[in-house]
Structure formats: C-alpha cells, structure tokens
Structure 1
Amino acid sequence: MVEILFQRLLQAAAVMLAMSVLVFAGVYAIGNPIDVLIGPDATQAVRAEVIARYGLDLPLWRQYLGFLRRFLEGDFGRSFVYDLPVLDLILTRLPATLELTLTAVAVAVAAGVPLGMYAGYRPRSAAARAVMAASVVGVSVPTFWIGLILILVFAVWLGWLPAGGRGATVAVLGTEWSLLTLDGLAHLVLPALNLALFKLALMIRLARAGTLEIMLSDTVKFARAAGLSEWAVLRHHVLRLIAIPLVTVLGLEFASTVAFAVVTETIFSWPGLGKLIIDSITSLDRPVMVAYLILIALLFIVINLMVDLAYAALDPRLRRRRSAS
C-alpha cells in the first residue's frame, strides 16, 4: 500500500510539472498585460519601468523558472489588477465556490442515486420512464440556458428567490458562509440547483445502469433466496456494488464542478473562483490565471488519489490482492 502511494505521488509530481509548463506557456502567449495595466498615453520610460517591475522583460524560460521556484515556496506572485498576493486572493474566493459546489454535488447525489436505483429496479414503470426522460433533459440542455430560465421564473415572475449575489454570510473560523443564514440560503438555492442539474442527471443514469446490471447477478439471487427483503437487497448489496463506479465519477465530477462553475457563477454573480478567473482573463491578470489553472490541476490529481484509496475501502478484492502481494 505504501509502495503504491509512493508511486502515485511520483506520478502526480510529474503530471504537475508537465501541467505547469503547459499552463505557463499557454497563458503567457496570450496578449500583453501591460496594455491593460497602463494607459496608452504612458511614456516609454513608464512602460519600461512597469515591465521591469513585473519581470516581463526576462526570457520566457527565466520567467518560468522564477515562477516554479516561487511556487515550490508557496508564493504565486501578486495580482496585476488587485495588487494582492494571488494565493490570498484565491483563498478569499475559494469558500464561496466550495460552498456552491458541495451543495450542488450533495443535491445531485442525494436525489440522483435513489432515483436512478428506482429507475433500474422498476425499469418499465411510468415513474421510471419519467425519471429517465428528465435525466435526458438535464444532460442535453445547456447550463447557461437553465440558469437564465431559473432566474426568469423564480426571481422575475414569481419573485420567490433573489436573482444573484451571495446574500448575508456568517463568519466561522475566519471564513464567511452563506449556508448559515436564511438570506444566504435563499441566494444559494438557484445557483446550486443550476449547477446540480447536470450532475443529478448523470447520477441517475449511472445508478440506473448499475442497478439494472446488479439485479440480474447471482449476488441478488442468493440474497433473495436467503429470505432478505427487497429493501435489504437494495441497501446492502445493490448500493454497495454500484458505489464503486459512482465514487470514481463523483470524485472527477466534483473536481470538474469546481473547475467549470464559471458559467453558473457568472450568471448568478456568485463571488467565487469562477467569476475571479473570468475577470482575470478579461484583464489579462496572468498570475491569477496561472495559479488558478495550476491549483485546479492539483485538485484533479488529489481527488484521483483519494478515489484510488476509496477503491481499497469499498472493494475487498483489492485489499486481498494488495495484502497478498
């Protein structure tokens, strides 16, 4: 187990190094932030001073080595636009994104897995067909369009929920959370629902496919022959067996939800990382862009490692195979 963990850490380090090169080269090939930072009427002396201050006069490979050294020291540089340390800027926006993402994923899992299992357990029923039809809509309709419809219906026509913003927050251990206030919770409903719909549809389809397969297996036949109730069969056998592929998809989907919450945060003016990266791209704030992409790559790598460890906890065959080796 320790040897496998060590191998995965070496692989993660190699992937992070490759990603840092690709991200740095790609971001620094886009535009010239000096044109955004200073006005067109600035003198050549002022332009040269600003370029030298940010190290943009150095060759690209020297800029990358400097970035890599600072990154290993935990320093992502300073934002061109906000003139703040990039890591501090990201950490101030991260709780909002995590709150939105965790809520969306929790809704998708809590509703999607039971609905998918029911659709697989009673595949010919009218309710199961309705669930699958709704999942097709959730997968097919673009997120931005659903978000606009949610705002139009629940914020404009009905006036039940706010159209954007984060609302009132409460500080817990130095971090602001909107889930703990009624106003913040009201602001969270629409963006979390918008972000959860695609994941909900995906969970329904995966759970249904797994349930259909497991219900025909010998495991379920033996459990029924032993006199177990249908509820016990579903809870103790079917759910445990479909949990392994669900954990894999859920881990990757959580990382992708954090990375691609940009559309939802932009539509609902949610002050998270997605809105920050959009603003940074618009203003060519290179340090923020590079740090964001590197941290997202690191998030995917960490979650993949956690999924591998979760495999060993869920599948006894892996534990026996590793102990035997």
Structure 2
Amino acid sequence: MPAFLFKRFVNAAGVMLAVAFLAFLTFRFVGDPVELMLNEQASQAQRDELRVRLGLDKGFVLQFATFVGNAVRGDFGISYRNQQEVFTLIAERFPATFELVLVATFLSLAVGIPLGVYTAIRRDSLLAKALQFISVLGVSLPSFALGILFILVFSVTLQWLPAFGRGEVVQLGWWSTGFLTASGRKALILPGITLSLFQITLVMRLVRAEMLETMRTDFIRFARARGLPSRAVHFRHALRNCLMPVITVTGLQIGNLIAFALVTETVFQWPGMGMLFVQAVTFVDIPVMAAYLIVVSFIFVSLNTLVDLTYAWVDPRLREDALSGGANAR
C-alpha cells in the first residue's frame, strides 16, 4: 500500500507541475505584465522598477521556480483589474461555486439513481422509453440554452424565481452561504437545476446500464430462485452492486462541475469562480486566469487521487495490478 500511495502522489505531483508550467507560460507570455499594470503615462524608470519587483528581470528557470514556490504558498500575485490579491478573490468566490456544485451533485444523485433503476426494471414501458429519449436531449442540449429557457419561463413569464444573483448570504467567518436565507435558497434553484441536468442524465444512463448487467449475473438468479421479493432483489442486491461505479463517476464529475460551472454562472450572473474567470478573460487579467487554472486542476487531481485510493482500499487487486504494471514496465 505505501508503494501504491507513493506512485499515485508522484503522478499527481507531476500533473500539477505540468499545469503550473502552462499557467506560468500564460502569465509570462500572454501580454506584458508591466504594460498591463501601468498606464501609458508611466515613465521608463517606473516600468523598470516594476519589472524588477515582479522578478521579470531574472532568468526563465528562476522565474518558473519562483512562480511554483509562490503558488504552493497560495501567492498568485495581484489582480490587474481589481488590484487585490488573487488568492483573496478566489477565496471570496469559492463558496458560491461550491454551493452550486453541491446542489447540482445532490440533484444528480437524488434524481438520476431512481430514474436509472426504473428505466432498467421497466425498460419496455412507455415511460421508460420516454425517459430514455429525454436523457438523450439532456446530454445534447447545451447548458446555456437550458439556462436561458429556464429564465424565460420561471423568471420572466411566471416570475417565480430570481433570474440572476445569489440572493442574501450569511457570513460564517470567511465563508459565505446562501443556504440560511430564503432568497439564497431560491436563487440556487435555477442554476442548480441547469448545472445538474447533464449529470442527472449521465447518472441515470450509468445506473441503467449497470443494473441491466447486474440483473443477468448468477447471484441475482440465485436470489430469485430463493423466492426473494422483487423489491429485495432490485434494491438490496442489484442496486448495491451498482453504486460503486456511480459514486466513482460522481466524484470525478465534481471536478467537471467546478471547472465548467462558468457557463451556468455567466448565464445566471452567479458570483462564483467561473464568473471571476470569465471576467478575467474579458479584461486580460492574467494572474486570475493562471490561478484559476491551477486551483481547478488541483481539485481535479485531488479528486482523481482520492478515487484511486478509495478503489484500492475497497479492491486490493487494483493495488497489485498497479504495482505489477509498474514492475513490468521497468
């Protein structure tokens, strides 16, 4: 197990180092930081002073090493647009994105699993076929189109839910939450549903496929032969064996939700990290763009590593395969 852990952490560190290099290239070569931070009236002496202060007078390798060291400490520099520390900006926006992703993940599991079970058990029924067709639409339709449609129906026409913003929030130290206010909970409904629709269809189709495969196994036939009721066979035996891949995919999809929530956040003007990144691209705010890339990649890598470790803990054969594969490669 220690060798397996070491291998996984080395892989994660290598990926993060590659991402840091890409972020550094973005920071270093997409425009001149000095020109972006100073106005046109700045003198050459001011430009040279800022260049020295930013470390741009040093060699490429030394600049990259300094960039990585600062990133490890959470120092991503100063935002060109807001003139604030980038880490502070991301910390302020992260709670909004986290709550949105949390709602979307909950909806994807609470809705997707029951629908997947139903379409597997009643696969020849008219409702199951209709749900299958709707799932194809859910995968195909872009989230921004669904978001605009929801705003048109529920905000403009029916005026039931807010069209943009996060509503009132409560500060709990540095963390801000909308779960504790009525307007905050209402504001979460439309963007949460919009962000979760693709995940709902993904979970539904995955559960359906796993259930159909599990229902053909010998232990399910044996359970039926013992005279167990269909409910016990479906939920106590079949569904329990289907949940591991569902939990795995859901864990990996959390990273996708955080990364690609920027479309939903832009449509609903949700003040999260995705909206911050879109604004950074608009105003060529390179430090924010580089920091967003590193933070999201770190979340991706952490979740992937956690899933690998969970699988290895549940199924020791994966540890043996990983280690034997490494030995054969050598």
SS in structure 1 at match of 2:176: strand
* C-alpha separation in 1, matches of 2:235 and 2:29: 53
Judging changes above 3 Å, is the alpha-carbon distance between structure 1 residues 33 and 268 closer, same or farther for their aligned structure 2 residues? Answer: farther
Which sits farther off after the overlay, 134-143 or 243-252? Answer: 243-252
Q: What's the counterpart of residue 153 of structure 2? A: 153
**Cα distance, 1:39 vs. partner?**
3.3
Q: Deviations over 1:227-258 (max 9, x none)?
A: 22222222222222212221221122110100
Judging changes above 3 Å, is the alpha-carbon distance between structure 1 residues 27 and 260 closer, same or farther for their aligned structure 2 residues? Answer: farther
Q: What's the counterpart of residue 22 of structure 1? A: 22
Q: What does 1:83-122 align with in structure 2 at a 5 Å threshold?
A: 83-122=83-122
Which sits farther off after the overlay, 285-294 or 43-52? Answer: 43-52
SS in structure 2 at match of 1:203: helix
* C-alpha separation in 1, matches of 2:270 and 2:72: 31
Q: Which amino acid aligns with 1:126?
A: L
**Cα distance, 1:20 vs. partner?**
1.2
* C-alpha separation in 2, matches of 1:201 and 1:102: 17
Q: Could you list the runs of 4 or more consecutive aligned residues of structure 1 that deviate by over 6 angstroms after TM superposition?
A: 319-322
Q: What does 1:72-87 align with in structure 2 at a 5 Å threshold?
A: 72-87=72-87
Q: Deviations over 1:67-111 (max 9, x none)?
A: 112223342222222232222221111111000001001101110
CA RMSD of aligned residues (A): 2.2
Q: What's the counterpart of residue 287 of structure 1? A: 287
Judging changes above 3 Å, is the alpha-carbon distance between structure 1 residues 37 and 198 closer, same or farther for their aligned structure 2 residues? Answer: same
**Cα distance, 1:176 vs. partner?**
1.1
* C-alpha separation in 2, matches of 1:219 and 1:131: 28
TM-score normalised according to structure 2 size? 0.90
Q: What's the counterpart of residue 68 of structure 1? A: 68
**Cα distance, 1:189 vs. partner?**
0.5
Q: What does 1:180-219 align with in structure 2 at a 5 Å threshold?
A: 180-219=180-219
* C-alpha separation in 1, matches of 2:162 and 2:321: 53
**Cα distance, 1:130 vs. partner?**
1.2
Contact residue 33 and residue 284 of structure 1 kept, 8 A: no
Q: Deviations over 1:13-34 (max 9, x none)?
A: 1221122112322443323344
Q: Which amino acid aligns with 2:80?
A: F
Q: What's the counterpart of residue 247 of structure 1? A: 247
Q: What's the counterpart of residue 277 of structure 2? A: 277
Contact residue 32 and residue 284 of structure 1 kept, 8 A: no
Contact residue 36 and residue 80 of structure 2 kept, 8 A: no
TM-score normalised according to structure 1 size? 0.91
Which sits farther off after the overlay, 211-220 or 313-322? Answer: 313-322
Q: What does 1:304-319 align with in structure 2 at a 5 Å threshold?
A: 304-312=304-312, 314-315=314-315
SS in structure 1 at match of 2:110: helix
* C-alpha separation in 1, matches of 2:242 and 2:314: 10
Judging changes above 3 Å, is the alpha-carbon distance between structure 1 residues 248 and 96 closer, same or farther for their aligned structure 2 residues? Answer: same
The share of aligned pairs that are identical, in percent, is 44
Which sits farther off after the overlay, 203-212 or 11-20? Answer: 11-20
* C-alpha separation in 2, matches of 1:2 and 1:249: 25
* C-alpha separation in 1, matches of 2:143 and 2:57: 41
Judging changes above 3 Å, is the alpha-carbon distance between structure 1 residues 66 and 316 closer, same or farther for their aligned structure 2 residues? Answer: closer
Contact residue 27 and residue 287 of structure 2 kept, 8 A: no
Show structure 2 runs of 5+ residues with no match: 323-330
Q: How many residues align?
A: 322
Contact residue 247 and residue 307 of structure 1 kept, 8 A: no
* C-alpha separation in 2, matches of 1:317 and 1:62: 43
Judging changes above 3 Å, is the alpha-carbon distance between structure 1 residues 197 and 270 closer, same or farther for their aligned structure 2 residues? Answer: same
Q: Deviations over 1:172-226 (max 9, x none)?
A: 3441111121100111111111100111111111111111111111121111122
Contact residue 23 and residue 291 of structure 2 kept, 8 A: no
Q: What's the counterpart of residue 8 of structure 1? A: 8
Contact residue 4 and residue 319 of structure 2 kept, 8 A: no
